[in-house]
């Protein structure tokens, strides 16, 4: 199947559709951690409510400086579900990335972050994602400047999805 045959949809819509059609199918596997499509959707919806409680709105940039983990994908999709723009920083060489148990000065721990979701009615926020257009900025990569000057690279939903389809389907033969 070619990228020309795919319906272009907003980034988070892919998760919502996957959770609806295949709720019990593995969606992401990182080392020994795994999450199904349905569980990832549920986790992203909680993150979305926490962001809303913290005042994050459509079009706001949400910086993510984390190592690859399931928390990372929860935050990525949670931001996308309200139309916020995740800004992905390269955490490869950073030791102080933290969304975990316990406390560190100037960081919010996982329990505190997720507890903010309790202040937001889940039903009241379901429409936040509905206004997302495929031409909206889906996310922004931030390069640290290891090979050139640092810069932000905004990608709309079209480019993001087509890059995945071309790379995954056309080149790697994934489906």
Q: Residue 104: inside a domain, yes or no?
A: no
Q: Beta-strand (E) ranges in the chain?
A: 26-30, 33-36, 61-64, 85-89, 137-143, 151-156
The answer to whether residue 109 is domain-embedded is: no
Residue 145 has pLDDT above 60, yes or no: yes
Average pLDDT estimate for 2-8: 66
Tally of structural domains, the chain:
1
Residue 75 binned pLDDT confidence (cut-offs 50, 70, 90)? very high
Chain position carrying tokens 């955490």: 91
Domain that holds residue 148: 8-96+117-123+130-171
For position 167, which CATH number holds?
A: 3.40.50.980
Give the strand order in the sheet containing 137-143.
Answer: 61-64, 85-89, 137-143, 151-156
User: Tokens standing for 167?
Assistant: 């790379």
3 is a domain residue: no
% pLDDT > 70, the chain: 83
| Residue 86 resides in a domain | yes
- Of 168, 9, 44, the C-alpha closest to 36 is 44
Rounded to two decimals, the pTM is: 0.84
Residue 112 is assigned to a structural domain of this protein: no
Specify if 146 maps to a domain: yes
Query: Is the confidence at residue 94, as pLDDT, over 50?
Result: no
């Amino acid at each position: 199947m070619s990228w020309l045959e795919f319906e272009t949809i907003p980034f988070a819509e892919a998760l919502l559709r996957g959770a609806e059609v295949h709720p019990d199918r593995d969606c992401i596997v990182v080392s020994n951690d795994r999450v199904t499509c349905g569980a990832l959707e549920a986790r992203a919806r909680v993150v979305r409510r926490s962001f809303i409680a913290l005042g994050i709105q459509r079009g706001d940039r949400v910086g993510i400086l984390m190592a690859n983990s399931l928390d990372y994908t929860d935050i990525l999709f949670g931001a996308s579900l309200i139309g916020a723009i995740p800004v992905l920083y390269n955490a490869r060489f950073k030791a102080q990335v933290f969304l975990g148990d316990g406390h560190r000065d100037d960081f919010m721990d996982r329990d505190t972050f997720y507890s903010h979701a309790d202040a937001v009615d889940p039903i009241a926020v379901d429409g936040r994602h509905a206004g997302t257009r495929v031409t909206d900025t889906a996310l922004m990569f931030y390069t640290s400047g290891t090979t050139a000057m640092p810069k932000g690279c905004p990608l709309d939903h079209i480019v993001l999805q087509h890059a995945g389809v071309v790379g995954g389907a056309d080149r790697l033969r994934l489906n």
